């Protein structure tokens, strides 16, 4: 099994759902022998009328304060890239650009976490019309692929994670035409996808997206791929990355993308 050197998706407790300080995430990465990480704390966009929105400009300034402190402390042991996981950024492209033009990010994940302001983790999968939900989610993923500014699309088949918790299996390959349209647009706009390994340690028991989707992306010409644990606590940093490398290779990929100043460089998979 290959050794992974970079974890491109994790959250510190700067994110409302993160569990540990950035320092602890960095120390975990060093313990795991990683050479490079990106701290991709959340920034979520909402449809109007959200009562308390924690995602402010000072929230982002706090992120960079903490990041710079970690860089100063651990630079000899670990490359720490600045990242953000932006949710639903198509809802406010002006705000998205204000953030991305003014702050020195290395890497941006574009994700869809919410449909009509409701987190897909909070949906009751036993009562919802799954077909309607999948089609709505795919439409939002297309909107993201078509309009938003990011480097890689996060966890393409995320709803699988939450449906699986209710014992329900969702396979976006059942919507091949819609997935094809999303991937085509990503490739046209020179954007990538990630292999998010969180699914391996959760009920879904597979990566997000699944092997079939990763292989489809590659077969369509997609060449930009990152791997990330989506760790929200130190114990999960680097988890599943070796398995993701094998999956990437089996899907056809020979290289992984690493990012600096939003520019990819490619690292051969050994």
Residue 230 as a binder of Zn ion (CB under 5 A): the answer is: yes
Write down the least CB distance from residue 13 to Zn ion, Å: 13
Please give the Cα distance from 183 to 172 (Å, whole number): 13
Which of 141, 71, 82, 144 has its CA nearest to residue 108?
82
Alpha helices in the chain (DSSP H): 22-31, 57-74, 93-102, 130-147, 159-165, 176-188, 211-219, 241-251
For Zn ion, the closer of residues 18 and 222 by Cβ is: 18
Count of residues that bind Zn ion according to CB under 5 A: 4
Task: Give whole-number Cα distances, 89 to 83, 146, 220, 237, in Å.
Answer: 15, 11, 25, 26
The one segment of 22-30, 180-188, 200-208, 224-232 that binds Zn ion by CB under 5 A: 224-232
For Zn ion, the closer of residues 88 and 111 by Cβ is: 111
The helix (run of H) or strand (run of E) holding residue 83 is strand 79-87
- Residue where the block lists tokens 């407790």: 13
Write down the least CB distance from residue 245 to Zn ion, Å: 19
The one segment of 25-33, 84-92, 235-243, 251-259 that binds Zn ion by CB under 5 A: 84-92
Write down the least CB distance from residue 9 to Zn ion, Å: 6
The one segment of 23-31, 81-89, 140-148, 167-175 that binds Zn ion by CB under 5 A: 81-89
User: Site map for Zn ion, 143-162, x if CB under 5 A?
Assistant: -----------x--------
Residue 236 as a binder of Zn ion (CB under 5 A): the answer is: no
Site for Zn ion in 2-31 (CB under 5 A): none
Write down the least CB distance from residue 87 to Zn ion, Å: 7
Supply angle C-alpha 253, 155, 142, rounded to 5.
95
Which of 249, 40, 67 has its CA nearest to residue 155?
40
Residue 207 as a binder of Zn ion (CB under 5 A): the answer is: no
Site for Zn ion in 60-79 (CB under 5 A): none
Task: Give whole-number Cα distances, 109 to 74, 133, 202, 270, in Å.
Answer: 24, 22, 21, 25
- Residue where the block lists tokens 């991937």: 183
Write down the least CB distance from residue 75 to Zn ion, Å: 24
Site for Zn ion in 105-134 (CB under 5 A): 111
Task: Return residues touching Zn ion (CB under 5 A).
Answer: 85, 111, 154, 230
């Amino acid at each position: 099994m290959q050794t992974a050197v970079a974890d491109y998706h994790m959250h510190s407790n700067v994110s409302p759902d993160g569990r540990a300080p950035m320092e602890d995430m960095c120390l975990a990465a060093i313990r795991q022998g990683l050479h490079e990480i990106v701290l991709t704390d959340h920034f979520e966009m909402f449809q109007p009328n959200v009562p308390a929105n924690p995602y402010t400009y000072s929230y982002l300034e706090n992120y960079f304060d903490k990041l710079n402190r970690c860089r100063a402390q651990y630079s000899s042991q670990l490359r720490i890239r600045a990242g953000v996981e932006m949710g639903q950024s198509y809802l406010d492209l002006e705000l998205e650009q204000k953030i991305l033009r003014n702050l020195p990010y290395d890497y941006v994940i574009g994700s869809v976490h919410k449909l009509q302001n409701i987190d897909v983790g909070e949906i009751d999968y036993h009562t919802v019309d799954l077909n309607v939900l999948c089609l709505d989610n795919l439409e939002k993923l297309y909107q993201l692929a078509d309009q938003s500014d990011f480097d890689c699309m996060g966890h393409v088949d995320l709803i699988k994670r939450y449906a699986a918790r209710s014992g329900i299996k969702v396979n976006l390959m059942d919507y091949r035409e819609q997935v094809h349209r999303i991937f085509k647009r990503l490739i046209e706009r020179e954007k990538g996808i990630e292999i998010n390994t969180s699914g391996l340690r959760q009920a879904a028991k597979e990566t997000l997206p699944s092997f079939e989707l990763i292989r489809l992306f590659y077969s369509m010409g997609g060449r930009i791929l990152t791997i990330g644990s989506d760790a929200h606590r130190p114990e999960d940093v680097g988890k599943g990355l070796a398995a993701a490398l094998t999956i990437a290779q089996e899907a056809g990929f020979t290289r992984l993308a690493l990012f600096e100043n939003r520019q990819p460089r490619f690292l051969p998979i050994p």
